[in-house]
Amino acid sequence: MNEETINVAEAKKHFSELLGRVAYSKKHILITKRGKPMARLIPAGEVAVHLGNAHGWLEDDDPFFDTIDGIVKDRSMHVPRILKETLTE
């Protein structure tokens, strides 16, 4: 599926219109800030396919899953720099 890319400033100006295009036209929209992907708008009814949901190509006790669980755990404790700045103010 084609994905439209829009910067955050334009997304803020046209948010309602973007929601309509996503909801009714089934468009995917990538929102960027200074060229870096920040968020993706997809229709609410679509289920995002995640690698963690894959079944059948690795055994359940494969060490890969322990590694991924460790990464997810470490990532869940991460606080983005922008949030750290607001917490210290």
pLDDT in tens, 61-76: 888 889 988 998 888 8
Q: For residues 21 and 77, which has the higher predicted lDDT (pLDDT)?
A: 21
Question: What are the structural domain ranges in the chain?
Answer: 3-88
Q: What is the distance between the alpha carbons of residues 70 and 81, in angstroms, rounded to a whole number?
A: 21
pLDDT in tens, 3-27: 899 999 999 999 999 999 999 998 9
Task: Record the pTM.
Answer: 0.54
What single-letter amino acid sits at 66?
A: D
The CATH homologous superfamily to which domain 3-88 belongs is YefM-like domain (3.40.1620.10)
* Sign of the CA dihedral running 40, 43, 44, 50: negative
CA 9 to chain centre: 18
Specify the range with the lowest mean pLDDT, choosing from 37-41, 51-55, 75-79.
51-55
